Amino acid sequence: MKKIFGRPAGLTEILQRYCPGCGHGIVHRIIGELLVKLDIRERTIGIAPVGCSVFADEYFNCDMIQPPHGRGPAVATGLKRTRPECIVFSYQGDGDLAAMGTAEIIHAAARNENITVIFINNAIFGMTGGQMAPTTLPGMKSTTSVKGRDIRKQGYPIRVCEMLASLDGPYYLERCVVDTPKNVIRSEKALKTAFMNQIDNKGFSLVEILSTCPTGWGQTPIQAKKWLGEAMVQYYPLGVYRDRSKEEK
Amino acid sequence: MAEKKLMYGNHAIVEGVLAAGCRFFAGYPITPQNEIPELMSIRMNEIGGVFVQTGSEVAAINMLFGAAAAGKRAMTSSSSPGISLMQEGISYIAGADIPVLVVNVVRGGPGLGNIAPAQSDYYQATRGGGHGDYFTITLAPNSAQDLYEFPRLAFELAEKYRNPALILADGLLGQMMEPVELSDELVDPNSLAENEWALSGCKGRERRIVRSYDLRPGKLEEWNLRRIEKYEKIKKNEQRFEATDCDDADLVIVAYGTCSRVSDAAVKMARDKGFKVGLLRPITLWPFPWDVFADMSKRIENFLVVEMSCGQMIDDVKLATECRSKIHFHGRPGGGVPTPPEVYKEIEKVLGGAQ
Ligand SMILES: Cc1ncc(C[n+]2csc(CCOP(=O)(O)OP(=O)(O)O)c2C)c(N)n1
Ligand code: SF4
Ligand SMILES: [Mg+2]
């Protein structure tokens, strides 16, 4: 029998414990494939966040480190500066990157640190049971905004790509979504660029990926996919927010 | 012949760190240790090392986590408020069994406190400091020479036991100038052996994971118990102290860092007056030199603990002597520095008028 579909060598054989319909698995697969396609698996050091993807240290088939909540970009800096020959990526959720680690990501971007950041924006704290995230949409329900996020009391969401694009530092910023096969392929392209930029010593690349959390959103996987493509994409416009390679030409 | 140079304590730390083959520094300015990042930025640039001025001490300690997990000697320095911010990171680093060097040039606290020398971070340094069951190897220098030599010792101990190490100095040691004998034997960073746990890319070997968590039932308990075994080894092998004039003493002063220098002068005053007084200076604060106290407490009737705090090390002296001796205390918190006549007066109080 001919095998036509299997796990890329960039992922381990360990069973991933994500909920049905969770976006983390899709993005893991893209990264796992890229580690092989770009032939960087054996010189890559990955960083797993604190969040549902804390177990990414078991899922990616490369050297991995698991730092404190939000501090991935600082750890990445220490790794990359001492091992410039390695490819260093930091995988982070919205609580990790846009709440706890806001300072770390801003300063890594401002320094144009030569690292690759994958930012999974599912607008919720998945790991801790669906509390409000800095990216939770106005009016969106969570376990700490049960009647919907009240912008008068709980403020507005943070748009990370737009915020980082206000800095001169970052080399590449793009926002994608993983709701349809076409958009998954677009996400892969963005992530490939983000890794290639590091390989070519260009500097800081961040790809924000809008992603589902059916469990935290209280939706079925199908509903979640739909809501992702509509409500999330509407609030967080897709596109390239910075590409310095364009300026270089 | 080794070169002798007049140096600021803070500059001696920088040269000591570089002599130890460390080529990674990340830190955030804070008085009274600003001379460390300032000189480090120049020296790292000269010798091709890494200097990063970070957005916070939180970022600094996590950069160390990354650099050290990559198997490289890495250090940061700060003063009390900054060290408080680093506690989360130190806990993770200890939990991942990674060696790093942290220097605390202690100032008056709590809160923003002041920028005067203090020893009020003793509890934080010797009780782990952050969350969880862990300890950091803690060295207490009392001269510019120590500040030059201890970084190398700290790295060696940290690597031997895969544990973070701390140098607990104070603002006075950092700011004063003293002659330092520089070492002829500089550690070449390239000569340091690759660690079997370091992250470098998995080419030709199994992939490696550096982490501090284990959610499997019972596994974290096992891991902690293994770490306790390591701590027992450190306690057994690494207790360091300096004992002066203790053999015939009716009273032994216990003091580390700046207070040991002050107390040394007080001991001389007391001896001149005919008092039998000695000085016991802990060099490792963790592991505390418990054994020598256990031994001395069988003969020494009085210990006088002198600290620039409200009294923190005194707890360890009481524990180590198992309350067999009388423990007296003289402390100056909030940036106060005791003088030799002040300490001498305390000696007189305990031992009576002039002999
Ligand atoms: C210092 C600290 N505070 C809080 C937590 C608890 N905590 C764990 S994960 C998390 C939020 C995770 O949300 P996110 O980063 O969006 O990841 P997701 O699970 O949604 O992928 C929080 C608050 C922690 N581990 N450490
Ligand atoms: S809680 Fe949400 S983010 Fe976490 S695994 Fe489940 S679906 Fe994914
Ligand atoms: Mg999230």
Query: Which CATH number characterizes residue A75's domain?
Result: 3.40.50.970
Query: Does B72 contact chain A (CB < 8 Å)?
Result: yes
Distances (CA, A) of A165 to A169, A175, B349: 9, 12, 68
Fold of the domain built from segment(s) B4-199+227-235: Rossmann fold (3.40.50)
Q: Does A178 map to a domain?
A: yes
CA distance B228 to B163: 12
A59: which chain B residues are within 8 Å (Cβ-Cβ)? none
> How many separate domains does chain A show?
1
B206: which chain A residues are within 8 Å (Cβ-Cβ)? none
CA atoms lying within 13 Å on the CB side of residue B73: 26
How close is the nearest chain A Cα to the Cα of B109, in Å? 26
Q: Does A47 map to a domain?
A: yes
ipTM score: 0.97
CA distance A155 to B263: 57
- Are B199 and A68 a contacting pair at CB < 8 A? no
Q: Is residue A142 in contact with ligand 2, taking CB distance under 6 Å?
A: no
Q: Indicate the residue of B72, B88, B212 with minimum beta-carbon distance to A82.
A: B72
For domain B241-351, give its CATH number from 3.40.50.1220, 3.40.50.920, 1.20.1250.20, 3.40.50.150. Answer: 3.40.50.920
Q: Does A2 map to a domain?
A: no
CA distance B161 to A174: 44
CATH 3.40.50.920 spans which residues of chain B? 241-351
- Are A57 and B56 a contacting pair at CB < 8 A? no
Torsion of CA B52, B53, B59, B61, to 10 degrees: 70
CATH 3.40.50.970 spans which residues of chain B? 4-199+227-235
Q: What's the whole-model pTM score?
A: 0.97
- Write out the DSSP string of A21-64: T-SHHHHHHHHHHHHHHTT-GGGEEEE--SSGGGGHHHHBSSEE
* Amino acid in the structure at residue B146: D
Q: Indicate the residue of B54, B64, B208 with minimum beta-carbon distance to A107.
A: B54
B212: which chain A residues are within 8 Å (Cβ-Cβ)? 66
Using CB atoms and an 8 Å cut-off, which of residues 6-65 of chain B contact chain A?
Answer: 23-24, 26, 50, 52, 54-56, 58-60, 62-65
Domain membership of residue A186 as a residue range: 24-248
Q: Indicate the residue of B23, B70, B92 with minimum beta-carbon distance to A83.
A: B70
- Tens digit of pLDDT per residue, chain A (249 long)? 888 888 999 999 999 999 999 999 999 999 999 999 999 999 999 999 999 999 999 999 999 999 999 999 999 999 999 999 999 999 999 999 999 999 999 999 999 999 999 999 999 999 999 999 999 999 999 999 999 999 999 999 999 999 999 999 999 999 999 999 999 999 999 999 999 999 999 999 999 999 999 999 999 999 999 999 999 999 999 999 999 999 887
